[in-house]
Amino acid sequence: MSRIGMKVLAVLLSSLAASSVVAEHPVEAAQRHQQEANAAYLSGDYAGFTRSLERARELNPASFATMYNLACGYARTGRPDDALDLLEQLTVAQVDFGMANDPDLASLRDNPRFQELVRTLAASIVPVSNSTERLAINQLGLAPEGIAFDRDTGRLFFGSMRTGDIFVADNTGHWSRFASVGDSGSYSAIGMAVDADKGLLWTVATWFFMAEGFDAGAPVPSGLFGFDLDSGALRHRYFVDESVAGLNDVTVAPNGDVYVSGDVLHVLEAGSSALRPVATSPAPFGSNGLTTDHSGRRLFVSSYPVGIGVIDLDNGNLQYLDAPPERPLYGIDGLYWHDGDLVGIQNGIQPWRLLRMQLNEEITAITNVEVIEFANAALTPTTGAIDGERIHYIGQGPAPERPPSQFPDSLAPYLGNTVIMTAPLAITE
């Protein structure tokens, strides 16, 4: 198996396609070098594999997947100390991409330093479990991604990347089809958010390989759909320029503006009838989870391959948050504001984790990270929805060993049953 793309789904959801801007973004260039590395690996050119990954890491040192794959390249090309230096960084961050049994690291097996790293990492992977199961759906192939909570009724909404359908679940666990972005074409239902003031469920409809009828040669414009919270009727539909490869997640600011992440960050301003790009300097790459602070003047955006950026909406300046080295911000999917903290679902590293992150007064750095959930093998989560002092989050259970024949082979890793969990946001010892 190729060393590249160990979290294929998460990477695809973060970028959906190459950036459409003319000037190549450094992270886009890094991902191009990762693709070159992939081709070199498949041809057995491990020196070329390593060179391409070195270039990728120079452009985006935040990528833990690149770091791990480069360690494998160093091990393959007779540079054990360089490989071990990178593996030590991963061990400190409790990131385990399977190094203990990876054939690409076979040359390190008898190295005492490698053996110690394997023991240290294994001892540190102790599951943290504070969640309870809210709903389990015994149906393969929904491929869930987005989830939203209606505080007035207690209902949960969640979508399917396969069918574009949107489902609603009540407090008793009963669930049913509510609406669908698939009624407008071959779309995946991705991010979603409840806009209680407008009585709407905002849902991102995007062109994505998981959608039924997906045609790689016939891209369709991505959009933001607004459904009536009571009836499920489609009330609004806003599309972005066809040059934008895809949209991803959505959040509603306190003033009613609706921000949408993806290939290009967009906003639907309150009272407007069109999505427009958000000008930032620099531009985030592959924006994913996003949320505003209580004032609505700061927008936090997860650039999945990099970390969390904070945008000053008054001037468009973007700055990435610093974080403790043992708590990297790489690979965060869902992102939420809660009582002055950030809550993140980090599925781009293994094991995945649910985090509550405290900010400094200057909003320039994460000062403390509380791990709410860690290494729960019951699911791989994507996004969540805040409900008072708790969060509901959705994910996919383990994929079946033999996927049903009605699904294409490309979907085999993503066919697990849908699981919704609930976790408290304040943990008492």
With contact defined as beta carbons under 8 Å apart, do 386 and 185 qualify?
no
pLDDT by residue (tens digit) across 96-106? 999 999 999 99
Nearest to 280 by CA among 320, 321, 316: 316
Return the pLDDT at 19: 38
* Look-up of token digits 């574009």: 164
CB atoms within 10 A of CB 228: 15
DSSP-assigned letters across all residues of 358-424: EE-TTSSBEEEEEEEEE--TT-EEEEEEEETTEEEEEEE-PPPSS--TTS-GGGGGG-PPEEEEEEE
pLDDT by residue (tens digit) across 335-389? 999 999 999 999 999 999 999 999 999 999 999 999 999 999 999 999 999 999 9
With contact defined as beta carbons under 8 Å apart, do 147 and 384 qualify?
yes
pLDDT by residue (tens digit) across 286-315? 899 999 999 999 999 999 999 999 999 999
Please compute the mean of the pLDDT values over residues 237-243 and round it to a whole number. 91
8-124 and 132-424: identical CATH topology: no
Q: What would the 3-class secondary structure string for 9-47 be? A: HHHHHHHCCCCCCCCCCHHHHHHHHHHHHHHHHHCCCHH
Average pLDDT, the chain: 91
pTM higher than the cut 0.75: yes
- Indicate the helix (H) or strand (E) that contains 66: helix 64-76
Q: Spelled out in words, what is the top-level CATH class assigned to the domain 132-424?
A: mainly beta
Most confident range, picked from 20-29, 347-356, 408-417: 347-356
With contact defined as beta carbons under 8 Å apart, do 247 and 240 qualify?
yes
Please give the radius of gyration of the chain, using alpha carbons only, rounded to the nearest integer.
Answer: 21
The CATH number of 8-124 is 1.25.40.10
Q: Residue 128: left if φ>0, alpha if ψ -120 to 50, beta else—which one? A: beta
| Cα→Cα distances 403→25, 164, 346, 398, Å | 38, 20, 26, 11
Please compute the mean of the pLDDT values over residues 316-337 and round it to a whole number. 93
Structure tokens of 282? Answer: 């620099």
Domain coordinates in residue numbering, the chain: 8-124, 132-424
Q: Which runs of E-coded beta strand occur in 269-320?
A: 276-277, 287-292, 298-303, 307-312, 318-320
Percent of the chain with pLDDT over 70: 94
